[in-house]
Structure 1
Amino acid sequence: MNRTPPSARTGNRRIRWPVVAGLSVVTAVITAVLGHQVPKSPSTSPTSAVPPQAPRGQHRDVPGEADGVVPDGVTVFDDAIPAVANLDPGLLKALRQAAKAAVNDGIEFGVNGGWRSAAYQNQLLRQAVATYGSEEEAARWVATAETSRHVSGDAVDIGRSDATAWLSEHGAGYGLCRIYRNEPWHYELRTDAIDHGCPRMYADPTQDPRMQQ
């Protein structure tokens, strides 16, 4: 077997060290360059970021009590509720007189609807069109803001069937009359009814000449 002379072995070791050192420097340079080129991952992903708030006024305002929306349990004596307090004074007086008399029969006059703002009435009309499928059919149940007796404060919707039954029998004596056959809850003031009885009812609001304005 041939042996490598000692001088040759020493020479090989002297050559390898510079090569190794050079490779180390090149590796370090490549790592540094790649480190600058590859962006760091963000600490928060887009899906977990908080979205910006929607600008004000983007959604339609929802009517509330100030527009005539009636909370549960309201009676004709609730002056703090605009739907009651903004009724025509004569109508409200007649309602309270009748309600006091009805108490003797164990009847309470709850209110489902009274005065309404024009905006609230228009919303109810839009809902009726969506429910009944046409403006013509919706008109049998909901008037426009321009013709509604609720917007003017001249109509009330009584909320309990025992109260409407009581008014059907005794309401004329207080000038309180049912106006439409399809709405047993809807009452208006007719002072002549005290002496002459309530006028003949319309089949529905579309038969009422006041709704044709």
Structure 2
Amino acid sequence: MTNDLPPRRTFSVRARLLSVTGLAVVASVLIWHSQMADLLAFDSAADKQPVVAGGPGGSPPPQVPLKSTGVRKTPSETPTVSPKPKPKKTPTKTSKTTGTAGKSQYSEESIEGLSPKLRTRLTKAMTAAKAAGVPIRINSGRRSAAKQRRLFNEAIKRYGSYQAAIRWVLPPDKSAHVQGKAVDIAPQAAMVWLNKYGYRYGICRPYDNEPWHFEALTTPGKKCPPRKTSSAAELG
């Protein structure tokens, strides 16, 4: 029997401790790496989920695809624009006696500006006179008040006074021409014919000093009233 002790297994115990410690360190590193991966994983499926506001009851609102961009919008984000009605143009009415520039629409040499009664009667008389070989020409039918005023002022200057002027030209408010109820004709043969046969159509010569001036003063077929000396008698 000897006093020598068996050798200690120092290396194997130390190796085991190192192995256990190493495994613990490796495990810690793996856990840390996994946590860091979760934090840095920006491309995870959870991050790719769109965030939408909850609709009634917590459900997301319905989405409407846009044809042009493919982006979805809610119906509230797509306003409905009603087409504006086109403005209607109001047609401009033209007066029977004046044009757009305020000028007379009818020529003084035309029967169109005359009163319906005188126009109808004069048309029949002109047809009969033409058939008899005596054409009737209109020198002055309906006149504007402005022209009648000018003629009246010229007559005052020419004849020297108001009283002398009204023997030939009446002021606008008294003139039958302004009302379309008088007509001055030519030539001389037409004056003679209408003075003789005008009553058949209800047309008469009212003044002695104006053989060219005629008005509708009687019923067709009846005798004309006696003539007056001049138009001054109208203001008597």
Q: TM-score, normalised to structure 2's length?
A: 0.54
What CA distance in whole angstroms lies between the structure 2 residues aligned with 1:184 and 1:164? 6
Aligned positions of 1:24-173 closer than 5 A: 66=104, 70=108, 74=109, 81=110, 84-173=111-200
Worse overlay, 138-147 or 105-114: 105-114
Structure 1 residue runs of 4 or more that deviate by more than 6 Å after TM superposition: none
* Residue 207 (str. 1) matches residue 233 (str. 2): yes
Q: How many residues align?
A: 135
Choose between structure 1 and 2 for higher RCO, CA contacts under 8 A separated by at least 6 residues. Answer: 1
Q: Which runs of 5+ in 1 are unaligned?
A: 1-63, 75-80
Q: Over the residues paired in the alignment, what is the CA RMSD in angstroms? A: 1.9
Structure 1 residue 65: Cα displacement: 7.2
What CA distance in whole angstroms lies between the structure 2 residues aligned with 1:65 and 1:157? 21
Q: Compare the two structures and name the one with the higher helix fraction.
A: 1
Q: TM-score, normalised to structure 1's length?
A: 0.59
Q: Which has the larger radius of gyration?
A: 2
What CA distance in whole angstroms lies between the structure 2 residues aligned with 1:106 and 1:195? 22
Q: Percent identity?
A: 38
Please tell me the residue identity of whatever aligns with 1:181: D
Aligned partners of 2:201 and 2:221 also within 8 Å: no
Structure 1 residue 191: Cα displacement: 3.4
1:178 aligned to which of 205, 210, 225: 205
Aligned partners of 1:67 and 1:117 also within 8 Å: no
Q: Which runs of 5+ in 2 are unaligned?
A: 1-101
Structure 1 residue 90: Cα displacement: 1.0
Give SS of 2:204's match: strand
